[in-house]
Amino acid sequence: MAADAPPAAQAPASENLTLARVFGNPDLNGPAPRALKLSPDGKLVTLLRNRPDEKERYDLWAMDTTSGQWRMLVDSKKVGTGAALSEAEKMQRERARIGDNKGIVSYDWAPDGNSLLVPLDGDLYLARLDGQARKLVGGGVLNPLISPRGTYVSYVRDQNLVIQPLAGGAAKQLTDDGKANVHWGEAEFVAQEEMDRTRGYWWSDDDRLVAVERFDESPVGIVTRAAIGAEGTKVYDQRYPAAGTPNALVELFVIDPMSGAKVKVDLGSNPDIYLARVDWAKGGKTLYVQRESRDQKTLDMLAVDPATGKASVLFSEKSTERSWINLSDSYHFMPDGSLVWWSERDGYGHLYHYGKGKWVQLTKGPWVVTNLVGVDEKLGRLYFLANKDETLEQQLYRVDIAKPGAVTRLTELGWTNNAVMDKAAMRVMVTRSNANQPPQIYLSDTSGKRLAWIEENALVSGHPYFPFVAAHRPTQYGTLKAADGSTLYWEMITPPLEPGKKYPVFFEHYGGPGTTQQVLHQWKKPIAQYIVSQGWIYFQIDNRGSNYRGKAFEDQLYHAMGTVEVADQVAGANYLKSLPFVDGAKVTTYGWSYGGYMSIKMLQQAPGVFAAAVAGAPVTKWELYDTHYTERYLGDPRTDPTSYSSSDALQDTAKIRDPLLLVHGMSDDNVVFENSTLFAARMQSQARPFEMMFYPGHTHRVAGPGISEHLWGTILGFLDREVKDKK
């Protein structure tokens, strides 16, 4: 199957893409707004919009939902101070993968809808709808929020939780021993990096109580991380919970903001657990806590009495022996005390209703609910994203609690969608794209009817990508069978094929467990089109172990990383070699992070299959990676060292005989730089030839003005030299 090319009847003769233009301003994808929200009264759509002349910088904008008129609420260049961020905020941004963003990166609506809380350059501002902004707090603020009823502004400063009356008045510090290794109101490293939990405190909906995490990193091992920059090196003693080593000690307290009184929550007798999620029941009568076991095979839902801290287990999710629990944010506590809950208990991620001790399955089938978008509590109606009708697309659906299984699709086939709803689930903001249309955003009602464009992003004259539309190459999709009979989906973009000519292949992969599906009916970043314009075929395949395909598909990587996912990528390469227009001697492969790890494993397990490989920021020794991610899939190295030794990328370096380029940011605090230095040392000790390119001052994401162009120039220069241009 193939996606038609975008209409080009009115397009001019195509310009030639260059790397400088791919990564230059304005963004070729068109506007890239983020953090979409509806005001409490539904009259305004707000979002962060990047600048045409500086695509990494974001300002706060609002659109009137009636008139469609836009206005800038906060200009980050006029309001911000440009002060350097604290190391704590830099690390939080790195965990959120927005480390290169400038200006405004988040905001929070006041409940009355008359103002917004805007963090900027470490300060905290209150922005009014007339565009005026006043500074509330100066310097070093983390995790700011307006409490649900608008009584307080809360934030973390110097590792303690602080509240301040929104109407004005003195700030009050609710905790006082936050210093050194003790933090209040923050999420610990693995919660931010691996658990999709970025916050460490939670207000009850009546502003009467706040649940606050306290964590102590004293037991966590120290990694002396050298952040090697262009001018000098900074050394950080970072508390990094490597696999098989102690985690931070996490506690939870309920605090009365008026009196400051604290009640400790009983999280159980075993301190070696994960604090996964925290939520309040309506009216603050019960605190719900999701407690995950260290081996991630059990997830307990605790019901906590906030007055005493006493907890009882409401229910538990348990994995099978050779599997794990995937955490989710797709759940909702209903006003009657019942719960809408996402679970993989039948082998696929689906929605359930839990009330009075009974479970009712609301969705069912060999497909996956990927996100619970909104809940209309009055009607008992749920809105969710899923791949029910097409494996390669996310569509928006609805189902009523009273009518299990009666699922209605609200969005149009042929697109991959994301969606955000207001709190009352009355309006939807849909973001969609396909292979020929960059992301569009529109406002719709609950039937799916489009009410207004928020960002049409049409590929017409004036769009940054319009000069290149005529040369845009279509994406083809297809399937292969894995060794166990599983269906594997692939995508391919080719140059205009000349009869009898054979073409080299740029084969991209990621491939790790728990990863977002890569092959989708969605817009691809223009770098893929640039690669094709240089005479390469672009190819990608989703292997066993990736998500959104059910647990049986994903669980094959349990204690077996570097096995079936590598075999599936090799199967993709062998399929390519069978095509008459592919030069079988010139199939290359590239990956970053887990994909970088796989690049190395492919060269080790299938020598000669790939003409060359690029490994970006690879994990080469899994004992160097963090507890929550690594132990989920490989177990504890203290009890199962074999899974680690067989999965690493260091044991078989002597088998590598194909050209390899190793790339890494020299200040990476996620996949620490030691992974690449260990691998490089091993290759050198065995006199194995390879190339390296390391980036001073860059973390796990090597990107930015000039840097992105250099990185891709290096990658493609290596592949041209070693493969494409080689006779």
Q: List active site positions.
A: 593, 668, 700
Dihedrals φ, ψ of 610, to 5°? -105, 135
d(CA 601, CA 343) in angstroms, rounded, equals: 33
d(CA 340, CA 360) in angstroms, rounded, equals: 10
Question: Which residue's structure tokens are 């009636």?
Answer: 66
d(CA 64, CA 45) in angstroms, rounded, equals: 7
Amino acid identity at 184: W
d(CA 61, CA 117) in angstroms, rounded, equals: 13
Ranges assigned E (strand) in 446-498: 450-455, 475-481, 487-493
d(CA 58, CA 313) in angstroms, rounded, equals: 44
Query: Strand 503-509 relative to strand 537-541: parallel, antiparallel, unpaired?
Result: parallel
Q: How far is CA 1 from the centre of its chain?
A: 29
d(CA 39, CA 27) in angstroms, rounded, equals: 28
SS3 call for 584: strand
Residues in CB range of 227: below 8 A, 6 or more apart: 233, 234, 235, 236, 666, 667, 669, 697
Dihedrals φ, ψ of 577, to 5°? -65, -20
Question: Which residue's structure tokens are 């960059």?
Answer: 438
Q: How far is CA 486 from the centre of its chain?
A: 26
- Residue 367's alpha-carbon distances to 347, 490, 548, in angstroms, are 10, 18, 7
d(CA 698, CA 695) in angstroms, rounded, equals: 6
Handedness of CA 92, 95, 101, 104 (dihedral sign): negative
3-state secondary structure 149-185: CCCEEEEEECCEEEEEECCCCCCEECCCCCCCCEEEE
Enumerate the β-bridge partners of residue 480: 488
3-state secondary structure 615-654: EECCCCCHHHCEHHHHHHHHCCCCCCHHHHHHHCCCCCHH
Q: Which long-range contacts (CB under 8 A, 24 or more apart) does 492-496 make?
A: 492/537, 492/538, 492/539, 492/540, 493/524, 493/528, 493/529, 493/532, 493/537, 493/538, 494/532, 494/537, 494/538, 494/581, 495/532, 495/533, 495/535, 495/536, 495/537
Is-contact 610 507, C-beta < 8 A? yes
CA R_g for the chain: 26
Asked, as a colleague might, if the bond just before 504 is cis with ω within 30 of 0, I would say: no
Dihedrals φ, ψ of 104, to 5°? -90, 125
Residue 658, class by beta-carbon neighbours within 10 Å (0-12 exposed, 13-18 middle, 19+ buried)?
A: buried
- Residue 616's alpha-carbon distances to 114, 486, 691, in angstroms, are 46, 28, 12
* Tokens linked to 710: 């250099």
Residues in CB range of 533: below 8 A, 6 or more apart: 16, 17, 471, 495
